[in-house]
């Protein structure tokens, strides 16, 4: 963001720095480093500036599409913006973001195609590859997800999202040694991240120390460690337990914050035990996930 700001000062007529800043703001909220609404407000300003300078900028339209979906819950508008972003041909960033959005709606075949395009167009970028892992997890292709994330970790062994996905794959496969290893990696590499501490609940709950879960959860909810604690992620913890009242309480908080991850509730396997609850269905409809 600092480099993009420097570029904007050096050439105020150049749109791309504003696109990069909007993308970075999106990442800050996705990685639990900043409150989502704060990030989205700044991203809107950057996108508006980029489109003033370059109305046909595909990256700006792709970022606009993401905000329409994750902050505005307006999927028809998001699809229109994605079509504008892709109107002049395939573009790695737009293909990647569109693929991720399609995945959250359960349109897996289309999502795979766009994510594959993104990975081919931008082979050095981790974003499309990480989203491919997430798509495989959503489709319950755990073996494929493990192969892919293992390859990513060979070149990016400390990437936050890659390690978190490796933890998720191990959890899905009931691989306790893997769960413990990746949880320890997250804690060692990102000790100040509340998310890293939440993964300890999975490690203890699934791998032999369920008595630790409630005290650890109480400590995290009380603000230790400090930082942005994602209500959506807390909801997934209660989802595994089948505690629908707490799931809905934290999902409502997530919705009020406009967390980008709320649009993943349709495919999040942690909610499998509670997704038939009428309150869950009503929130899916409110978020615009009903086709």
For residue 50, tell me if it sits in a domain.
yes
Which CA distances in Å does 19 have to 5, 33, 238? 11, 19, 36
The CATH number linked to 25 is 1.25.40.10
**Total structural domains within the chain:** 1
Residue 191, in any domain of the structure: no
Q: Residue 41 domain-assigned?
A: yes
Assigned domain for 18 exists: yes
Residue 28 lies in a domain: yes
pLDDT of residue 29: 67
The overall pTM is greater than 0.85: yes
* Averaged pLDDT in 10-residue chunks for the chain of 291 residues: 95 95 81 72 91 93 94 96 91 95 98 97 95 97 98 96 97 96 96 91 92 94 87 95 96 93 96 96 96 74
Q: What is d(CA 8, CA 24) in angstroms, rounded to the nearest whole number?
A: 15
Domain annotation covers residue 212:
no
| Domain boundaries, position 42 | 1-83
Residue 92 lies in a domain: no
Judge whether 151 lies within some domain.
Answer: no
């Amino acid at each position: 963001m600092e480099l993009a700001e420097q570029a904007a000062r050096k050439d105020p007529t150049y749109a791309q720095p504003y696109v990069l800043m909007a993308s970075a703001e999106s990442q800050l909220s996705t990685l639990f480093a900043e409150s989502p609404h704060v990030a989205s407000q700044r991203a809107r300003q950057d996108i508006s500036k980029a489109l003033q300078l370059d109305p046909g900028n595909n990256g700006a339209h792709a970022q606009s599409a993401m905000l329409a979906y994750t902050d505005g819950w307006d999927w028809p508008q998001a699809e229109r913006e994605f079509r504008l972003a892709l109107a002049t041909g395939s573009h790695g960033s737009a293909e990647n973001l569109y693929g991720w959005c399609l995945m959250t709606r359960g349109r897996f075949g289309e999502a795979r195609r766009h994510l594959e395009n993104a990975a081919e167009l931008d082979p050095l970028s981790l974003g499309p590859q990480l989203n491919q892992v997430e798509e495989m997890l959503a489709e319950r292709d755990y073996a494929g997800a493990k192969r892919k994330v293992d390859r990513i970790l060979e070149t990016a062994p400390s990437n936050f999202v890659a390690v978190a996905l490796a933890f998720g794959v191990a959890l899905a496969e009931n691989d306790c040694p893997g769960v413990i290893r990746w949880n320890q990696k997250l804690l060692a590499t990102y000790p100040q991240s509340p998310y890293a501490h939440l993964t300890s609940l999975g490690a203890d709950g699934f791998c032999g120390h369920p008595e630790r879960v409630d005290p650890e959860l109480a400590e995290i909810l009380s603000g230790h460690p400090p930082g942005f604690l994602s209500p959506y992620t807390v909801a997934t913890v209660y989802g595994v337990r089948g505690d629908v009242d707490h799931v809905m309480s934290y999902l409502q908080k997530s919705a009020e914050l406009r967390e980008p991850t709320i649009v993943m509730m349709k495919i999040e396997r942690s909610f499998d035990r509670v997704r038939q609850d009428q309150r869950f269905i009503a929130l899916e409809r409110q978020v615009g996930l009903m086709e």
